[in-house]
Structure 1
Amino acid sequence: MDTVVVPSYTTFCLCSQGVDALRDLAEAGRLASADGVGFSFSAVGVRAATELSRAFVSVETWSRMPSILPDQRPFDFAFEGVVDFPDDCWRIYESLDPPVRLGIELPSGAGPYGARVIAYNHNEILDRFEMAQAGTSEEFAAALDDIRGLAPEAGEQYQIQLWPVGRRG
């Protein structure tokens, strides 16, 4: 599933709805703000390069942990952790796509999942944003327009892979 997100305070979260969802979202967001990616019980938070432009996110579900292949295109970072989804859906509230905000069904149902977040073009967008901040307000506005106008393949991208873990079949 591909979606576009607009980070809230530079962060977006993939999560599941449960009793402690708000607590988990806050914790994942706090950890992501500090470390780039944060894992909480039912949420994974990702710090984007800027909150002023969109990020492209691809969420993949796998039956087992996928490999990072040697010929995979270069990425800026990859973090792995475990999240426990209390319902059978994942969602991203910062998505521009209503189905993603409402929830996409997990093929293996509720339970623990391994999660890997891989970032592409993050560092380049962050560098462009920081350089733009050093310019005049007009230069900053023009640089933001350039960043917002980037084609999806040139903009900030995240690949999130999910796979069931610790289950007996």
Structure 2
Amino acid sequence: MPVLSSKLDTVVSASYMMFCLYSHAANAQRDRSEAGRLAFADGVGFAASAVGVRTATEVSRAFVSVETWSRMPRILPEQRPFDFAIEGRVDFPDDCWRVDESLDSPVRCGIELPSGAGRYGARVIAYNHNEVLDRFEMAQAGTDEEFAAALHEMRRLIPEAAERYQIQLWPLGRQG
């Protein structure tokens, strides 16, 4: 049975509708760019040391939970409804993960992985993504005043109604 090793909640303010969870690797900047490019096309993108996530909008905050597990957790039938769940792999050569658009400086600087450096499976689960996207698209169809009011409302959504992402990480093996 998979065991939850750690969980950290943070808030991101996504620039250009994007945030990345990543590790400092030799090609970290290139990996973040590639993950972002893939996420822009598909919602979530995986590159060697980065996971890019495209948010519904850049005008509202997104809540992100990063969980580390002893092995791949299951998605349970009783789990609350989600918009999508996408899996991939990512390498953490420096035994820390970071989120580039987090409002919390420790998360931008690096949080240690309980299982240490190595290759990890990763799953990104999105909640309220489609609802926030629909709100944003409907707001764009209104007048300038309606759009401004809708943006103000979106920035003030309670956490339960805001865009949320659950990122699960589990070790796949050790680097040699």
TM-score (norm 2): 0.94
Gaps of 5+ in 2: 1-7
In the other structure, the counterpart of 1:87 is 94
Name the Cα RMSD after superposition. Answer: 1.0
What does the per-residue CA deviation read over 1:74-112, in whole Å, with 9 as the maximum and x for residues that have no partner? 000000000011111000010000100000000111110
In the other structure, the counterpart of 1:111 is 118
What does the per-residue CA deviation read over 1:93-148, in whole Å, with 9 as the maximum and x for residues that have no partner? 10000100000000111110000000000000000000000111110010011111
TM-score (norm 1): 0.98
In 2: Cα distance, 1:166 partner to 1:106 partner: 13
Q: Does 1:156 align with 2:163?
A: yes
Gaps of 5+ in 1: none
From 140, 145, 149, give the equivalent of 2:147: 140
Extract structure 1 runs of 4+ deviating beyond 3 A. Answer: none
In the other structure, the counterpart of 2:129 is 122
Question: Percent of counterpart pairs with the same letter?
Answer: 77
| Partner amino acid, structure 2, of 1:87 | D
What does the per-residue CA deviation read over 1:7-48, in whole Å, with 9 as the maximum and x for residues that have no partner? 111010000001100000000000000000000000000000
Q: Report the number of matched residues.
A: 168
In the other structure, the counterpart of 2:5 is none
Tell me, yes or no, if the aligned pair for 2:117 and 2:174 is still in contact at 8 Å: no
